[in-house]
Structure 1
């Protein structure tokens, strides 16, 4: 018997619901894979940016026979007492290593704005004529009306990091490696008036063991452990204003016997970290962002040579706590590298290679005092191998330690 023409075949309600349910399950299964693919692409782009910086460092070295200096620029302005004084006349020798790299990473136009007198400024977010113009190399890099300092350079940003906008200035996700000790990491061999003297130089030689030493000319010839065995830069997160342990610092850990210099892991073990949310500071922990201003976040000033903004150390492993001895970003503290990637971060080796270092890298004893002038045994004396294992040895340039593992 034939079916009447008025009756048409179709899906029942149950069949439609089953199909929709299957589609929902497939979407639920595929969405994490799509998100993972997107992060993989961002991570590759981040690595490529870092590779470009590495090539820029090598081209800079070929041109000037030295690495770009961390904390360089014009010296103290007339009548200035100390380098930490603000100045609209000079940069107070506080420019970061990234400033000198700009013409070597296809940012010649930005370099021209910095290296020459600049007749424009930002007022209320608008570009206006400035009279008189900024001097060549600009003001101290904390000046928010100086347009280059507020400029975001794409090559200095990791696409995985979502940080944007105020209260930061121009952000960066890449930091110079200062080694396995913060002793003299703030000033290097100079005093408050930027004058090299024997005492400061002796302390700096003992404690500053990384590829970069602030206020100091450094070159590949200084990296005696081998370029392929030495980290010269690392990634870092920028602050999102969320009390993240990697982007704002706990401070005043200055006790001689239990403070951060004597025990680098103190901020991880003294209750400063929220036990229920171990990637964030406890609500009662004093941090720079709360007590010293929201503009003190990690990576917030690409032009500044302060290690909070453009430095990293191989003391604590990647994605560990920012932990300061003093109570201001212009003092000494531990600044580990960090990233928004899963499980670790990128580092730039001296030969230009980009490596991914995991959070679990062997890092020795994190309760051992860092190398410093004046240490006596059993504390590590100047010239000793790094107390922070493979991780520490990768950050030192001339400790004559053998690297036996492939990263």
Structure 2
């Protein structure tokens, strides 16, 4: 009598392990591709944000024949015997709000606001209080168009709204001071003075208007905190940089982080409405993703570098509205040379030339 043969329908342990190994390899190959695709999408979104900001500047200029003033706003004083002004410390990002579809927020800022608490609490004046006053609701507002999607840092409840884009003041560390002469101010914006496209003699396509920056992380990162250099970084002459004082504060074992010393940190990008240099200004002195330092304890004296969470560089907004990606390896000249003043060439190579508005250097196109 013939016996019927029975076939197994399951897997052996070896077969199961082989299948699991193959799946693991495929996942390992797929995840980096997925992460790269997500970062590419975030980078494109960041670029689009910058383009909208550029359109806002051009529409503002078309309306008023000038650019919004860096460090603009109201003087200290009284309005209707109530709260004083904002000490002319508003960022250029405030002025373009109506031109980037933020008309409702602009209406809140440009009109007086009642606190509605009690009679002893002063109301807010038009254009608001100082932009680091977190009791003023508009300053706490997060504007998606001012945020880079690749930056994971977020403001918590009650904190000021953040921004990843700051005005470029050129290649001179003293250009951030409102009481300095225009000879130090070689960028598109001059503190508390009017500027326009007519002032950009190097050409709108060859001059950086704004740059990207990482926001404060509280991790001692060199791109999110600017340290006090513990010395006269400019050797007393306001132009000769002594960057070694700044570099010495970087942890040699972790070159993207500061050591625990070096004075208190000032947070980068932690207040979108604040024009204070240590918070929001960028220069074309050190290449992208380099360290930033302040001279002494002043918040407006220093070199403040561009930075981003994108791999290998950061976005810049050119004055013609174009958005370009600049790599960390861009040619930046002699980093220990004196900073330029009006009438002199930049010492910081192609990078420095891109930050000046009227030095008329040749061959300043981003490669």
TM-score by length of 1: 0.84
Number of equivalences: 361
Secondary structure at the residue paired with 1:308?
Answer: helix
Q: Is the 8 A contact 1:119 1:129 kept in 2?
A: no
Deviations along 1:303-361, one digit per CA (max 9) or x if unpaired, are 111112221110111111111112142x3111111000001000000110000001110
Distance of aligned partners of 1:365 and 1:129 in 2 relative to their CA distance in 1, 3 Å threshold: farther
Secondary structure at the residue paired with 1:183?
Answer: helix
Partner residue, 1:292: none
Q: Is the 8 A contact 1:254 1:260 kept in 2?
A: no
Q: Is the 8 A contact 2:278 2:294 kept in 1?
A: no
The RMSD of aligned alpha carbons is 2.2
Which stretches in structure 1 are left out of the alignment for 5+ residues?
A: 79-86, 122-127, 191-199, 290-295, 373-381
Matched, 1:347 2:337: no
Partner residue, 1:246: 223
Give the C-alpha shift of residue 169 in structure 1.
1.2
Give the C-alpha shift of residue 9 in structure 1.
2.3
Partner residue, 2:96: 101
Matched, 1:361 2:321: no
Distance in 1, Cα, partners of 2:107 & 2:268: 27
Distance in 2, Cα, partners of 1:259 & 1:265: 14
Q: Mapping of 1:102-121 within 5 angstroms? A: 102-120=97-115
Give the C-alpha shift of residue 76 in structure 1.
2.1
Partner residue, 2:276: 306
Matched, 1:89 2:84: yes
Partner residue, 2:153: 163
Deviations along 1:143-166, one digit per CA (max 9) or x if unpaired, are 110111111110000000011124
Distance in 2, Cα, partners of 1:259 & 1:164: 39
Q: Is the 8 A contact 2:234 2:241 kept in 1?
A: no
Distance in 1, Cα, partners of 2:70 & 2:61: 14
Partner residue, 1:384: 344
Distance in 2, Cα, partners of 1:51 & 1:313: 20
Which stretches in structure 2 are left out of the alignment for 5+ residues?
A: none
Q: Is the 8 A contact 2:216 2:269 kept in 1?
A: yes
Partner residue, 1:141: 131
Give the C-alpha shift of residue 240 in structure 1.
0.7
Distance in 1, Cα, partners of 2:231 & 2:28: 46
TM-score by length of 2: 0.93
Distance in 2, Cα, partners of 1:258 & 1:246: 26
Give the C-alpha shift of residue 264 in structure 1.
5.2
Deviations along 1:201-259, one digit per CA (max 9) or x if unpaired, are xxx22110000111010000000000000000000000110000111112134155399
Partner residue, 1:265: 243
